[in-house]
Chains A and B, each alone.
Chain A
């Protein structure tokens, strides 16, 4: 009974964030959606099947089912199949066995992510994560830099922060020089007084492996931390080429800073 409900909760929560909203984009890459929907549906269906089976035979008590599972499954290991949570408390599991019908107690922990999803509603990683993140992405490889479209026209050119960083660090032709570009990201404070960062997190798989992409902005007052902004500005080429790429974020002079709503896909 209880195990069916736990599965129902977990499957429902996963479907809620993947099939019926775009919340899943806060945690994983967009390509994960079909897999999440499939996994949520399987978990939900397992929960439904479990409940239906329980309801069809309400007169079979759980203790009896447990006994059956115990004897069929663990006959040869009387003292090795104790539920991990009762380990070290021999009095409790002596002769009792690991209760398959009610499910392992550790299964209740699966409610924790569900509670977190609904009660904390974890937002996309923001300035707190970006500020404490020192690792920077590796300098782009030559093929990537060659693949960037040429920057033409006098209007500001919108580009991902990753592309800006890649051009600033890896482009031998210095294609950014003198061009107005527009970057979208959130605000991260800097230790230096006249500078702040416009940043975006880059995911490879999920938020646990996020890397911060940061561009230092000069010449404009810092908006409140974590606001999403669109910064229009011009790249400041580094004064010395001694520092290896990747140690200091590239810089830009801001011409215009505008507040924008948070994009649906918060990561790059």
Chain B
């Protein structure tokens, strides 16, 4: 890699430190960091026995359990998504996507949305994959339709929904239909009204092969992992702070209950493969409100907002998240009124 670095030395080096740190034989941080690391590991191991036994506040313990649980539970899906995205970047030629997807963007959006059905993961996996698709030249709107549809309509999620709502296949159908409609509509709206400068499309080097795979995987994991933690912090805090008894008070007002469960789905940030069980446990709510919970959850939730803001930029998330939320609430209200 060093030879390439020398070749790519840019002409506009006006912002380089003077003297450039390349003058030293080693980067100045190199000898310090390993010792910081060793000290850190030592503190962690000692702290496990000296500090942890004295932290007994039940609220703090509950908060940290939920925080660690969200991070730990999401990590396998995130790693899976990151590896898949890196593989798309490094091994699938861009020409594959131009052949696989319809040439016209308006036709590519529904195809990409329906293709979401084949990725068996939750929402954490779909963000890096969508970013990898964009980096490989797929129309952003089509990649976004895939991003929204895949965590809600893949077979694993539909089967878990069927298990959680036994004897009510219309719930599975309603979830599938409403989620796909929202994903395609959001993609089309982005195609029509979205501006390129709102979206930070991750560009990748033209490199291919294992080195590109490693670089893409490492970069995505560091980015997405950090933002996953942001989302986990927010979700765990609200999970502990907001009492669930507030919910039952509004369960009888139809339009309010739809909105409240939609917001609850945003706050709780439950993995889309498990949210059907939680929805089923909210027995006092109407089926339409539960459907809103199931449609909004995989598309908009706190950890997803953090991931999207980190991957595609804040100006993207500030526009795309409200758009998706409104579409998801409207679509589930309509679908619930027609099917449930």
Contacts and interface: CB of A to CB of B under 8 A. Distances in A.
B223 interface: yes
A79 to B, nearest CB: 9
Contact of A126 (B4, B58, B270, B283): B58
B47 A119 contact: yes
A77 B312 CA distance: 13
B56 to A, nearest CB: 9
Contacts of B72: 14, 17, 24, 27-28, 36, 113, 206
B29 to A, nearest CB: 6
A17 to B, nearest CB: 7
B83 A206 contact: no
A64 B22 contact: yes
A10 interface: yes
A116 B339 CA distance: 45
Interface stretch (B102-110, B252-260, B273-281, B322-330): B273-281
Nearest to A120: B64
Interface residues of A, number: 96
A39 B76 contact: yes
B177 interface: no
B65 A125 contact: yes
A77 B315 CA distance: 14
A84 B281 contact: no
Contact of A122 (B47, B64, B79, B225): B64
Interface in A39-70: 39-40, 42-43, 46, 49-50, 53, 57-65, 67-68
Interface string A128-148: 110011111111010100000
Contact of A115 (B44, B166, B214, B278): B44
A208 B236 contact: yes
A193 B165 CA distance: 37
B192 interface: no
Contacts, number: 267
Contacts of B208: none
Contacts of A96: 15
B61 A109 contact: no
Interface string B188-213: 00000000010010111100000000
Interface stretch (B91-99, B111-119, B145-153, B241-249): B241-249
A141 B226 contact: no
B100 interface: no
A205 B221 contact: no
Interface stretch (B126-134, B136-144, B178-186, B227-235): B227-235
B26 A246 contact: no
A221 interface: no
A134 B244 contact: yes
B228 to A, nearest CB: 8
B309 interface: yes
Nearest to A55: B30
Contact of A209 (B22, B52, B83, B274): B274
B207 to A, nearest CB: 9
B44 A46 contact: no
Contacts of B59: 128
Interface string B46-60: 011001100100111
A243 interface: no
Contacts of B16: 63, 67
B52 A208 contact: no
A138 B283 contact: yes
Interface in A140-195: 141, 143
Given A39-B76, A71-B8, A205-B274, A103 B243 contact: no
A143 to B, nearest CB: 7
Q: Determine which residue in B13, B247, B277 has the highest number of CB atoms from chain A within 10 A of its CB, and name it.
A: B277
B203 A28 contact: no
Interface string A1-18: 111011111100010010
Given A77-B200, A113-B232, A205-B270, A72 B277 contact: no
Contacts of A24: 72
A80 to B, nearest CB: 5
A5 B64 contact: no
Q: Determine which residue in A63, A77, A129, A208 has the highest number of CB atoms from chain B within 10 A of its CB, and name it.
A: A208
Given A9-B40, A120-B64, A132 B243 contact: yes
27 contacts: A7-B221, A27-B65, A27-B73, A28-B72, A36-B75, A38-B76, A42-B79, A42-B83, A43-B221, A49-B218, A62-B29, A71-B8, A71-B10, A73-B205, A104-B222, A110-B222, A113-B68, A116-B67, A125-B65, A127-B58, A128-B61, A129-B62, A138-B281, A206-B274, A208-B66, A209-B270, A209-B275
Q: Which 3 A-B pairs have the closest CB atoms?
A: A205-B274, A106-B226, A207-B69
Interface of B: 1-2, 4-5, 8-10, 13-17, 20-22, 24-27, 29-30, 33, 37, 40-41, 44-45, 47-48, 51-52, 55, 58-62, 64-73, 75-76, 78-80, 83, 166-167, 197, 200, 202-205, 214, 217-219, 221-223, 225-227, 229-230, 232-233, 235-236, 239, 243-245, 247-248, 268-271, 273-275, 277-278, 280-283, 309-310, 313-315
Given A32-B76, A38-B76, A58-B26, 19 more contacts: A2-B33, A27-B65, A61-B21, A61-B22, A65-B5, A68-B8, A76-B203, A84-B314, A100-B219, A115-B44, A116-B64, A118-B52, A119-B48, A121-B52, A134-B245, A141-B166, A206-B72, A208-B70, A209-B268
